[in-house]
Amino acid sequence: MKAETSALNVELPEVLREVPLTEGPVTPGSLDDQILGVTDRKPPRKWFLAIAFTSLLATLGFGFIGYTIYTGIGAWGNNSPVFWAFDIINFVFWVGIGHAGTLISAILFLFRMRWRNAIARFAEAMTIFAVMCAGLFPLIHVGRPWLAFWLFPYPNQRALWPNFRSPLLWDVFAVSTYFSVSAMFWYLGLLPDIASMRDRTENKWRKLAYTILALGWHGSGRHWQHYEKAYLLLAGLATGLVLSVHSVVSFDFATSVVPGWHMTIFPPYFVAGAIFAGFAMVVIVLVVVRESMNLTNLITQRHLEVMNKVILGMSCLMGYSYAMEGFTAWYSQNVYLHHTFLNIIGGTYGWAGWLTMACNIFVPQLLWFKKCRTSYFWMILVATSVTIGMWFERFVIIVISLHQDFLPSAWRLYKPTLVDFGILLGSFGLFFTLVLLFARVLPVIATTEVKGILPGAQPTHGGHHE
Amino acid sequence: MSDFAVLGLFDSADALMKAIPQVKAKKLGRLEAYTPYPIHGMDEALELRRSPLGGMVLAMGILGALTALGAQYWISAIDYPIVTGGKAPWSWEAFVPIMFEVMVAFATFTAGLGMLLLLNKLPFFGHPVLNAKAMRAITRDRFALALEADPELDAEAAKAALRAAGATDLEVLPFPEKGPFLTSDFILRSLGGIFVACAVAGIGMYWAIKLVPTLIPITHMLEQPKVNAYEGSTFFADGRAMLTPVPGTVARGYLPVAAATQEEAAGLANPLPRTPEVLALGKKAFTNRCAVCHGPLANGQGSLGAAYGAKPANLQAGQFQAGGDRPVPSGPLGPPQASGAASQAKPGPGSGFPPYPDGKIYWTIVHGKNAMPSQAADLTVDERWAVVHYVRALQRAQNAKDEDLP
């Protein structure tokens, strides 16, 4: 690989040459010391401050969840006709955040985008934590979460079965499959890294934990052969899965007859939105991690720039989707659809519609400029704006469509309560607490994968590799 | 006993790959490489068979999809068919999303766990190379080539071969020592541990099952702002939870009987005509409320009486006949004949008993008699009179004459 690349570099003009994936001298050994060594050192004070803050938020959120379970769903602002509100908004929001991780780890893997190796691990971890946050909301929305197992089809003394024509049941299958598959994908990726940690740590207890978690991995050629095959298959399957999961989430809406929900564009529109929101969250967390953990040589400026390009592309797709929503409303000549669309741009919640469009379409256009794609200030600004915008997009879809549907006598405005906001904040607290814990106990960069793409990592003879 | 393997370390993937054919040519044992990351071309160099994982995943994926389709079809179309959204119970299109998810779940778990458990035989913590001094370097940045016993290994020749191929830090790995594992002491201690664990888990489960359902909010809405039976209430001055109805209040369909005693009730006439509908209503009410004691033929041979030794009245007995102990007069079904003073007035010839008028049966249904409780709360006025008709029909059926035949 090295020989081919260097041979090509001589002939190719400057702009076409392959950019190195890391900066400065990086060897497999230095990589281990930099990434895996983190767990051997005491966390800095700012880490403790950060986790104190986020776990406080999480505790607050769980307090509100406990209050909700004790008193009932009446603690929230949901009421007829807006039966779905913050809970489902947050669910769709968090599931969407998770999709970026699978996209980076699976789809970019299939496309042989080797720059993904440095950020895949972190993005996958974010997927798992985001899906955990997402799963929380339907669970508490059922009101009696200890009976949530009724959602699964199992033979029971009531001789009842769930309704397999309900998209809500499809959701149960999609999200639980997504979570378990993501968790397995992540763990298999971690396996060789945990083996490295097992072999380098001196601490007795940590060695025991890593020994058990590494399952006796010893990197034999035969194991690597099956491992690589499994990883490739998992990536292919996860690609289909990630596209299906948000499509199924969108079916929750699209298969209903509510004006503003009943649209065929919903599945691709939701998938694009999910990747969009997820990449924004990855950028935010990656910038913090890159600076606070001194990873600038591994997560390079180029990573951030490529991610910002993806955000820009997705922003344009979102713009197209919003335009199509308006076009569908006009072209359908359906008064109910007209009314819903006018509500988005001019109703009581019209501000939310315009906030969505501003945050998701107008602000990300800044990323056309290279300066904005490479400056922390601008990329954080855009990513924050996208995160806010995507949350409000779900607010627009759910609350605006529900609060005024076919029957004017049933119209009512929706107003969230303190508990709604508390649980939303709590989910952010839970997410960042898990991210912070992960950053201290497991390798934030897939060292094994990065070792394999360092210059000189692969043999020069043979000449038949990609 | 010979050694398990001889391990030689290389500093780069390049050096390792160059050494493999050299060492392989000497045919000293099984060749294996231990590397920190997968190396391109290693499969060919070690002449490994193609991984069978792809086929396994394909087969399990198809199995998953078929399982999901079959389960959904059986549940939705056969075991619990419910029409939803106007779709036929067997319409399969709605099963596709779950089919896809289950297919992916089967396939991914086959890929992941099949690779780990079946092909790589992990978790396994006893592999000799895990105890090698070189292990630390192998998972970090160096590359090991091992000549492993197959089944015997000439350690010196292997060392020489590896050194000749450029390996440094040669290491001989002995077979791991197998200590006595299944000693009786160990078995006893294990069984004791399992017993204690089961006991603790059992006691814990017992209390969990007893206690958890009593905890608010898991009590399934037992706690409600309403007054339960025998609970005091401060809502009304008299401590009741509900206002008593105004005197003289009558529930719909439950008119009280105008007669205070059974003798007075003898004068009541059955207001219902004797039509097939009325008899059907009477049959249904009789079967539901009466037959369990009086028997389906009203002869006192009900299943409850047989089981508990009670003696319900035999309504076929002479004393209950409309015309005394003689059979019901023959003739076509006409207007109700056992009504009021008329039938009471003329006792049948040769009877020991006076005729038993309809009103008395009605009164008994309302008030109960001896051990029989009142049925008033369960039968409406019409149902009670229909039962009376039906009882009469049963009596006639049990005492039929030749003329009754059509």
pLDDT band at A4 (very low <50, low <70, confident <90, very high): very low
Residue in A218, A228, A251 closest to B38 by CB: A228
In this predicted structure, the answer to whether residue A437 has a pLDDT above a threshold of 70 is: yes
3-state SS class at B171:
strand
Q: How far is A454 from chain B (nearest CA, A)?
A: 11
Best interface-test mutation with A: which of B20, B140, B215 has the largest number of A CBs within 10 A?
B140
Specify the pLDDT at position B262: 85
In this predicted structure, the answer to whether residue A155 has a pLDDT above a threshold of 70 is: yes
Query: Is there a contact between B41 and A459 if contact means CB atoms under 8 Å apart?
Result: yes
Query: Is there a contact between A219 and B36 if contact means CB atoms under 8 Å apart?
Result: yes
Query: Is there a contact between A223 and B120 if contact means CB atoms under 8 Å apart?
Result: yes
Q: For chain A, report the end-to-end CA distance as a whole number of angstroms.
A: 8
Q: How far is B173 from chain A (nearest CA, A)?
A: 14
Instruction: Name the residue in chain A with its Cα closest to that of B89.
Output: A165
Q: Which residues of B touch A182 (CB under 8 A)?
A: none
Q: Are A80 and A403 in contact (CB under 8 A)?
A: no
Instruction: Name the residue in chain A with its Cα closest to that of B123.
Output: A215
Q: Does B16 touch chain A (CB under 8 A)?
A: yes
Q: Where in chain B is the domain with CATH 1.10.760?
A: 262-404
Q: Does B271 touch chain A (CB under 8 A)?
A: no
In this predicted structure, the answer to whether residue A429 has a pLDDT above a threshold of 90 is: yes
Q: Would you list the DSSP string of A299-350?
A: S-HHHHHHHHHHHHHHHHHHHHHHHHHHHHHHHHT-HHHHHHHHHHHHSTTH
Query: What crossing angle do the helices spanning B13-26 and B155-164 adopt, rounded to 10°?
Result: 130
Q: Which residues of B touch A211 (CB under 8 A)?
A: 125
Q: Which residues of A touch B101 (CB under 8 A)?
A: 170, 173-174, 177, 241, 244, 248
Residue A192 makes CB contacts below 8 A (sequence gap 6+) with: A217, A219, A227, A448, B36, B37, B139
Q: Which residues of B touch A28 (CB under 8 A)?
A: 36-37, 140-141
User: In 3D, which of B12, B288, B321, B289 has the Cα closest to residue B144?
Assistant: B12
Q: Which residues of B touch A161 (CB under 8 A)?
A: 75-76, 79-80
Question: In the sheet where B30-34 sits, what is the strand order?
Answer: B30-34, B143-148, B5-10, B168-173
What does the alpha-carbon distance between residue A84 and residue A157 come to, in Å, rounded to a whole number? 31
Q: Is residue A465 part of a domain?
A: no
Q: How far is B202 from chain A (nearest CA, A)?
A: 21
What CATH number should be reported for the domain holding residue A213?
1.20.1630.10
Residue in A153, A449, A456 closest to B12 by CB: A456
Q: Are A109 and A235 in contact (CB under 8 A)?
A: yes
3-state SS class at A276:
helix
Instruction: Name the residue in chain A with its Cα closest to that of B44.
Output: A462
Q: Which residues of A touch B42 (CB under 8 A)?
A: 221, 224-225
Instruction: Name the residue in chain B with its Cα closest to that of A182.
Output: B108
Instruction: Name the residue in chain B with its Cα closest to that of A143.
Output: B217
Number of structural domains in chain A:
1
Query: Tens-digit pLDDT profile for chain B (406 aa)?
Result: 568 889 999 999 999 999 999 998 888 888 999 999 999 999 999 989 999 999 999 999 999 999 999 999 999 999 988 888 888 888 899 999 999 999 999 999 999 999 999 999 888 888 888 888 899 999 998 999 999 888 788 888 889 999 999 888 888 888 877 666 667 788 888 899 999 999 999 999 999 888 888 887 788 777 788 888 888 888 888 888 888 888 888 877 677 777 778 888 888 888 899 999 999 999 999 999 999 889 999 988 888 877 777 788 888 888 888 876 544 444 444 444 444 444 444 444 445 778 888 899 999 998 888 888 888 888 988 999 999 999 999 998 888 878 877 7
Specify the pLDDT at position B401: 79
Q: Which residues of B touch A145 (CB under 8 A)?
A: none
Query: Is there a contact between B120 and A227 if contact means CB atoms under 8 Å apart?
Result: yes
Q: How many CA atoms lie within 13 A of A455 on its CB side?
A: 13
Q: Would you list the DSSP string of B173-225?
A: EPPPP----S-HHHHHHHHHHHHHHHHHHHHHHHHHHHHGGGSTTTTSS---S
**What letters, b where the CB count within 10 A reaches 16 and e where it falls short, cover B55-94?**
ebbeebbeebbeebbebbbebbbeebeeeeeeeeeeeeeb
Residue A220 makes CB contacts below 8 A (sequence gap 6+) with: B32, B33, B34, B129
Instruction: Name the residue in chain B with its Cα closest to that of A459.
Output: B14
Q: Is residue A237 part of a domain?
A: yes
- Look at the block and give the residue holding tokens 């489960």: B205
Strand-pairing partners, residue B172, are: B6
Q: How far is B388 from chain A (nearest CA, A)?
A: 39
What does the alpha-carbon distance between residue A201 and residue A155 come to, in Å, rounded to a whole number? 48
Q: Does B56 touch chain A (CB under 8 A)?
A: no
User: In 3D, which of B96, B341, B14 has the Cα closest to residue A248?
Assistant: B96
Cα dihedral across residues B131, B133, B134, B140: positive or negative: positive
Q: Is residue A460 part of a domain?
A: no
* pLDDT per residue as tens digits for the range A128-148: 999 999 999 999 999 888 889
pTM here is: 0.79
* pLDDT per residue as tens digits for the range A251-268: 999 999 999 899 999 999
- Look at the block and give the residue holding tokens 């390792």: B16
What does the alpha-carbon distance between residue B271 and residue B274 come to, in Å, rounded to a whole number? 10
Q: Does B65 touch chain A (CB under 8 A)?
A: no
Q: Is residue A80 part of a domain?
A: yes
Q: Does B79 touch chain A (CB under 8 A)?
A: yes
Query: What crossing angle do the helices spanning A266-292 and A301-332 adopt, rounded to 10°?
Result: 160
Query: Is there a contact between B38 and A220 if contact means CB atoms under 8 Å apart?
Result: no
Query: Is there a contact between B112 and A28 if contact means CB atoms under 8 Å apart?
Result: no
Q: Rounded mean pLDDT of chain A?
A: 90
What does the alpha-carbon distance between residue A344 and residue A292 come to, in Å, rounded to a whole number? 41
What does the alpha-carbon distance between residue B351 and residue B173 come to, in Å, rounded to a whole number? 114
Query: Is there a contact between A164 and B98 if contact means CB atoms under 8 Å apart?
Result: yes
Instruction: Tokens for A284, please give them.
Output: 């935010």
Q: Which residues of A touch B18 (CB under 8 A)?
A: 459, 461
Query: Is there a contact between A216 and B125 if contact means CB atoms under 8 Å apart?
Result: yes
Residue in A72, A234, A449 closest to B111 by CB: A234
What does the alpha-carbon distance between residue A342 and residue A330 come to, in Å, rounded to a whole number? 10
Q: How far is A239 from chain B (nearest CA, A)?
A: 10
CB–CB contacts below 8 A, A to B: 224
Residue in A32, A164, A456 closest to B76 by CB: A164
What does the alpha-carbon distance between residue A349 and residue A404 come to, in Å, rounded to a whole number? 11
Query: Is there a contact between A166 and B84 if contact means CB atoms under 8 Å apart?
Result: yes
Q: Is residue A462 part of a domain?
A: no
Instruction: Tokens for B225, please give them.
Output: 């702002």
Q: Are B126 and B4 in contact (CB under 8 A)?
A: no
In this predicted structure, the answer to whether residue A1 has a pLDDT above a threshold of 80 is: no
Residue in B34, B98, B218 closest to A173 by CB: B98
Phi, psi of B143 (to 5 degrees): -125, 125
Residue A126 makes CB contacts below 8 A (sequence gap 6+) with: A97, A98, A100, A101, A278, A281, A282, A285, A435
Specify the pLDDT at position B361: 92
Query: Is there a contact between A230 and B129 if contact means CB atoms under 8 Å apart?
Result: no
What does the alpha-carbon distance between residue B383 and residue B279 come to, in Å, rounded to a whole number? 10
Q: Does B104 touch chain A (CB under 8 A)?
A: yes
Phi, psi of A26 (to 5 degrees): -125, 125
Instruction: Tokens for A423, please give them.
Output: 């649980």
- When pLDDT is averaged across residues A417-440 and rounded to a whole number, the result is 95
Q: Would you list the DSSP string of A88-131?
A: HHHHHHHHHHHHHHHIIIIIHHHTT-TTHHHHHHHHHHHHHHHH
Instruction: Name the residue in chain B with its Cα closest to that of A186.
Output: B112
Instruction: Tokens for A238, please give them.
Output: 């996860």
Indicate the CATH number for domain B262-404.
1.10.760
- Which range of residues forms the domain containing residue A388? 2-151+162-453
Q: Are A76 and A416 in contact (CB under 8 A)?
A: yes
Cα distances from A436 to residues A26, A198, A440, in angstroms, run 25, 21, 7
Q: Is residue A461 part of a domain?
A: no
Q: Does B193 touch chain A (CB under 8 A)?
A: no
Residue B186 makes CB contacts below 8 A (sequence gap 6+) with: none
Cα distances from A33 to residues A1, A29, A40, B13, B164, in angstroms, run 26, 6, 10, 20, 32
Specify the pLDDT at position A2: 42
Q: Are A138 and A131 in contact (CB under 8 A)?
A: no
